[in-house]
Amino acid sequence: MIICKKPRELQDLLEKKKIGQDEIGFVPTMGALHAGHLSLVDAARQNKIVVCSIFVNPTQFNDPEDFKKYPIILEKDILMLEGAGCDVLFIPSVEDIYPKGTSDLAHYDLGFLETVLEGKFRPGHFQGVCLVMGRLLEIVSPGSLYLGQKDYQQCMVIKKLIELIGSKDKIKVNICPTLREEDGLAMSSRNTRLLPADRIKAATISKALRYIKENLKAGDTKKIKDEAKEMLLQKGFLIDYVEIANANTLELVENWDGKQKVVALAAAFLNNVRLIDNMVINP
Ligand code: AMP
């Protein structure tokens, strides 16, 4: 695996190897890798070359403490990526991604998507996601992009960004399934920050979503959402939201017709560690 730290280094390498845009599979990450990330790398191996990036993006952290505490374990990440068959690892600096600094940056019109769920509870977060993704896509110029369903709304935001920058015909977005621990907890870099007792409780978030998936009936969705919330409250979670939304638009569904494809989504804290998860419900 070749490691590039500078955008020019990466671009020169791809040019020298005569790699075209449609031959590049790209997996953007913030590092502290786990099997979920590696499943994306594995999916990207159907391309001639797999490029992975590790960059902890300061502009997407609405909570500065969360940014400070974000785990960084680069040496282990490098070994994991090598083992997974990644060809090129791109590790840019903040200056490489934001050459003009991190204030006074572009604004993306994400419309409704930015007003609900993660958009509502993490103001500015998706603007930061768009800034870093816009820049990474400009540097790496991939034909295929690999994202995890774990970040359901982020996938929709990045698809919208690709439309906004006029790259819809050039970049194929591949959404990969969420990898889970044995007890159902969605793998996440933040899980390492859970206290041992909280790690056991953390699986309740996926259990609550599974409860919705298995018991949702046509009609008012309030009761089942309240039941799922109660499961979380009993384990000491501080809930941001438990919602059921249209799987294509993320409009909240208060009254389900029993036919529409929906997604159950949750975000909740265990002692300052914020966890998110979702499950698609295909009637
Ligand atoms: P992150 O490093 O958290 O920014 O994640 C990088 C990519 O990995 C994103 O596209 C995530 O959605 C994806 N990802 C994170 N956790 C998982 C998981 N448990 N299973 C599959 N993909 C994941």
Mean pLDDT of 138-159: 98
Is the Cβ atom of 277 under 6 angstroms away from ligand 1?
Answer: no
Q: How far is the CA of 220 from the centre of ligand 1 (A)?
A: 32
pLDDT in tens, 21-39: 999 999 999 999 999 999 9
Helix axes 7-16, 125-140, angle to 10 degrees: 40
Give pLDDT, residue 33. Answer: 98
Is the Cβ atom of 57 under 6 angstroms away from ligand 1?
Answer: no
3-state secondary structure of 36: helix
Query: How far is it, in rounded angstroms, from Cα 77 to Cα 34?
Result: 9
Give pLDDT, residue 282. Answer: 85
Q: How far is the CA of 257 from the centre of ligand 1 (A)?
A: 31
Query: Closest ligand 1 atom to the C-alpha of 188?
Result: 16
Is the Cβ atom of 278 under 6 angstroms away from ligand 1?
Answer: no
Please report, for residues 3, 42, 75, the alpha-carbon distance to residue 87 in angstroms, rounded to integers and kept in the order given.
Answer: 9, 11, 16
Give pLDDT, residue 104. Answer: 85
Q: How far is the CA of 281 from the centre of ligand 1 (A)?
A: 20
- With a cut of 80, say whether residue 283 has pLDDT above it: no
List alpha helices for the chain, DSSP H: 7-16, 35-44, 64-68, 74-84, 94-97, 117-121, 125-140, 152-164, 196-202, 204-215, 222-234
Is the Cβ atom of 151 under 6 angstroms away from ligand 1?
Answer: yes
Phi, psi of 127, rounded to the nearest 5 degrees: -65, -40
Residue 68 and residue 114 in contact, taking contact as beta carbons nearer than 8 Å: no
- Which residue, by CA, sits nearest to atom 10 of ligand 1? 147
Give pLDDT, residue 202. Answer: 98
- Which residue, by CA, sits nearest to atom 12 of ligand 1? 148
pLDDT in tens, 92-131: 999 999 999 998 899 999 999 999 999 999 999 999 999 9
Q: Give percent of the chain above pLDDT 70.
A: 100
Has 37 been annotated as catalytic?
yes
Reported as a pLDDT band with limits 50, 70 and 90, residue 231 is: very high
pLDDT in tens, 206-221: 999 999 999 999 999 9
Query: The pTM is what?
Result: 0.98
Is the Cβ atom of 128 under 6 angstroms away from ligand 1?
Answer: no
pLDDT in tens, 42-95: 999 999 999 999 999 999 998 999 999 999 999 999 999 999 999 999 999 999
Q: How far is the CA of 62 from the centre of ligand 1 (A)?
A: 19
Query: How far is it, in rounded angstroms, from Cα 158 to Cα 172?
Result: 11
pLDDT in tens, 162-181: 999 999 999 999 999 999 99
The whole-angstrom distance between residue 34's C-alpha and the CA centroid of its chain comes to 13
The average confidence (pLDDT) of the chain is 97
Query: How far is it, in rounded angstroms, from Cα 107 to Cα 176?
Result: 28
Cα dihedral 132, 133, 137, 140, rounded to 10, equals 60
Residue 236 and residue 257 in contact, taking contact as beta carbons nearer than 8 Å: no
- Which residue, by CA, sits nearest to atom 11 of ligand 1? 148
